[in-house]
Structure 1
Amino acid sequence: MRVERLGGDKVRFFLTLDDLMDRGIKKEDMWRDIPKVHELFNDMMEHAYQELGFEIAGPVAVEVFAMPAQGMVVVVTRGRTPQASDDDFDTDDMYELEVTMEETDRVIFRFSDLEYLIQAAIRMKSIIPQGGRVYTYQDVYYLVLDEGLEAPNLDTLVAMLSEYGEASTVTDAVLTEYGKVIWGNNAIREINKCFGTSDQGTSG
């Protein structure tokens, strides 16, 4: 589980499939008012407090973005800042949730260096010979794949990408609005055309 602050009253979590599986939670469970989802949310809020000093009280908007073979991004926006008097309340009384959920078939990975992205694209060529978009945002490279791959190709692809980068907590909408386009389409083909060599190794 990772968390980052987006603003004074907003944080974003990235939950891996392992985070969900360890708690016996499926993606569709996030809609349900069940104890294990409440426990997950409490764990998330505790993590946000420990990492960022982020506390919640009152109404809370929760946006869930489910991604294939990667897990989900959860954006939490608080309606008001906790006051000292809130200490008198139990945790269950401190907030009320309003959950919205969006599922996408996009695969988005981030790479700390262009070289890692290049190596990943060369490895991926056997699975996806073309397609994909590449952005830079906050000095990081992002690869967005719109193709709806079916398992096991999807699982293989995500495992391969994970050797060079990590699943992104930044959504496609953010990249489209704020990122700088490096390759707007067919990024995999263009990267291989520019940087691929016939004797390129496949070591990771």
Structure 2
Amino acid sequence: MRVERVDDYRVKFSISFDELQERGFGEDEIWKNSHIWYDLFDEMLDEAEDSFGIVASQTISIEVYSLTIQAIELILTLEMEEDKHFIDEPPLINTQSHQDLLLIFNDFEDLVSLCKRLVNHNLDIDSEWYIYGGEHYLLMNGDHDHLGTLSIVLEYGRESLFTTHLIREYGKQIISESATLQISKYFQ
């Protein structure tokens, strides 16, 4: 079973059909015996807790993300209470200005809008643009809180849970330097 954290509330599980057969899923049983599925879901919850510290104390949903000849991919989503505040948890945004900041965007237009705004405010930021898993990432290197830059960028994107090392290693680099300036220039 391969486990990958998608975001704060979602974890993706990739399970080969060989692994499913080892767990008692036969061709006839795979869609009929619900108790086998409950055991698998319990194992998935345990794996999410062990790997990422995610504890499912609220409602969860599990959906089939993809189904191929080799494997099935499932997405486990935790449904959180909207008014719940995590007082004991550290903030997700690292406000130390000497750190790199990796942002993820809901869509490409948000990335372009941010870049245009930064350029219009004459904020030249050492940045790189990556695509990973169909998502757009902007890596802002070094001092990213100059003149309130952090508050501006968080209007358009959010901090990624992935590390800069993962994105640099496995992501596709689109622009390697001055990404904000180049995106603003080429995407009107």
Amino acid at match of 1:108: L
Q: For 1:171 and 1:185, how far apart are their aligned partners in 2?
A: 18
The runs of 4+ residues in structure 1 deviating greater than 4 Å are 6-9, 47-54
Q: Report the equivalent of 1:89.
A: none
Q: 1:128-147, aligned counterparts within 5 Å?
A: 128-147=123-142
Q: Which runs of 5+ in 2 are unaligned?
A: 1-6, 14-46, 61-75, 79-89
Amino acid at match of 1:135: Y
Among 8, 13, 26, the residue aligned to 1:2? 8
- How many residue pairs end up in the alignment? 120
Q: For 1:2 and 1:112, how far apart are their aligned partners in 2?
A: 14
Q: Which runs of 5+ in 1 are unaligned?
A: 12-43, 55-63, 71-102, 197-204
Q: 1:45 to 1:141 in 2, by over 3 A?
A: closer
| TM-score (ref. length: structure 2) | 0.51
Q: Tell me the C-alpha RMSD between the 2 structures.
A: 3.5
Q: Report the equivalent of 2:32.
A: none
Percent identity between matched residues is 22
Report the Cα offset of residue 150 of structure 1: 4.5
| TM-score (ref. length: structure 1) | 0.48
Report the Cα offset of residue 6 of structure 1: 6.5
Q: 1:94-109, aligned counterparts within 5 Å?
A: 105-109=99-103
Instruction: Note if contact 1:131-1:185 (Cα within 8 Å) is conserved in structure 2.
Output: yes
Amino acid at match of 1:144: L
Of the two, which has the highest radius of gyration? 2
If each structure's strand is expressed as a fraction of its own residues, which one has the higher value?
1
Q: Secondary structure at the match of 1:121?
A: helix
Q: Report the equivalent of 2:39.
A: none
Q: Report the equivalent of 1:185.
A: 177
Q: For 1:110 and 1:117, how far apart are their aligned partners in 2?
A: 9
Q: Secondary structure at the match of 2:173?
A: strand
Q: Secondary structure at the match of 1:10?
A: helix
Q: Report the equivalent of 1:32.
A: none
